Every structure is written in C-alpha cells, then in structure tokens.
Structure 1
C-alpha cells in the first residue's frame, strides 16, 4: 500500500486583523511565499514533479478568489502543468486540502501533491450584502463565526476558553514539529 508523507511545511506568522503586519499583503502573495519556502526545504523535489496543489480557503472571494491556489502557484513561479484547486470547508479548509492531497497520493491519483491553506480576514471581511437573506432569517447559524462557535463549545461541552486556547497552541506546536 502507498503511503502519504509530509516532507516539508511552511507558514506565515500570525498578525492582528485590520491593523497587523499583513494588513496590506495579499493572501495570494502570502501563499506564494509559503509555496516557495516549502520547495526550498525539499531541494531534491523538482517543481515539475508536482501533480496537484490543493489549497483550503474559508472565504474564497475578493483577493483570495479566482482559484487562489492557481494564482499563488503562478505567482510562486510553479509550472502551469500543476493542477490547482481551492477547497472551501470554512475553518477546516486547509485540513481538508491536506486530506484530499493525501487521498490523491494513497489512491494513485498523484505521486506528488502540495497542500495547505490561506486566509486573510482583513482583505475579505464579510459584508451583510454577501449573505443570503433567507438563510439569515431561517438558519442564521450557518453564518456563525469561529469566535461565537468557541462560546457555544464552552457552554455546550463545558470546555472553557483556556482549555480551547491550550488545545489550539498544542495544534500549532504539532504543526511546527511536523
């Protein structure tokens, strides 16, 4: 049986929305930087060997629209022969992209794939006119943001803010170790 492995990883530092270090940096440029960085960590990998690029994006509109995976790949100087797709599963979009890339490899759809995620809250802030009025009236939870979700988790499952923050930190540390 085939095995899918992570050979390199990259991420940008975090910054505060609207006033942080990246408030005027395009998400496709941030992603292109990460793609270039991850390839520099795998010097034996020829970019032409990459068959697929899957990128998760929770809000694939505005400057992270138009298939941000393809735009960032071109911006990073990757060959146009690489297929590229943007995946939306909101907060788990990046994780979904990694799972899809692993699936491609495990089931012989690709030998080499890149996967990750990108998001710029600053550049794609949700506006009321973007929301479907019927959903707002009948199923408003569909548009629930992550901060409110954390409060629901705290109340429903008695998992406090500190425990959630500790888990989030551990997730970031695991990523750094991978």
Structure 2
C-alpha cells in the first residue's frame, strides 16, 4: 500500500511522540519484573529457612536450600518469552525430582493470548492506537504478576490448563507441603 507524503509525515509525528513513551513503559515494566523476582527470591528463602534449611545465593543468581541431604534450587531466567515476563525453575535436587517451570505472567493470565486484525490495514489508525495504548498504560498502575505453573490435573488432550499463585511462597507451600 503506497501512502501519500502527508500520511507518511503524520505517521512519523505519531511515532516520534510514541517512542519516549514506549521507552518509559519498558523501563517501568523491567523494574516491575525485577521487583517481582526479588520478592520470589525472598519467598524461597523464607519458605526454606522457616523449615530449618540453610539458603545460599540470592537473586539474580541461582539459590540453593539445604538441610542435611535434602536440597532444593531456584533459578531465574529473565529472557522474554511469548506469554511470560520471566521464567523461574524450582527443583528438588536431592533426592532428584523433575524441575517445575514457573512463568511470571500478568496477573489473571490464562496463558498466551493472540489477536488478529482483518480487513485493510490503516497505518495512521494503528499508530494512533499504539500511542493511546502507551499513554493509558503509563497513566495506569504498573504491572502486577502471578506465578503460573501447568496444571496437569485440569489439562486435556486438546489444551493445557494453568494454575496461578499470587506469590512464589503460595506456590512453594502447595508443592512442598
């Protein structure tokens, strides 16, 4: 689709207004992720120290909780993924049990969401919508997160089910009662 010069200029003006807002939003989101991961590290430490374990390490490094021969580990992977902001790995190392992957997701998420537009693209309307969305996001509260795991008991052959927890501490209390 060829755009006339006035339309191209209009789009560039919107993009120029949008760019600093996106940078602010990205910085705020990254700070929220780091705060949530630090809270998860604190929950891991408190959970296992309350049970008599010695906890070694701290966020963002791998953490290990030991009590005699029992050992649990918490790892952090902050690489962005589809549907989650970060991934934590919780595992009982001794005796060895399967790793539990914990996704840091937007509060209330039920897994990745997809949207699709149909019809003829409108670059000006799309750019304006991005601008309005960025302004609304910055005016609103920061991101709030849940800690999400697969829920095999509710998964079916046609779809996976997830279980969300408000804190990593809540998740640990359920997994390691």
Q: Same fold (TM over 0.5)?
A: no
Higher helix share: 1
Higher strand share: 2
* TM-score under structure 1 length normalisation: 0.27
* TM-score under structure 2 length normalisation: 0.27
* Bigger Rg, structure 1 or 2: 2
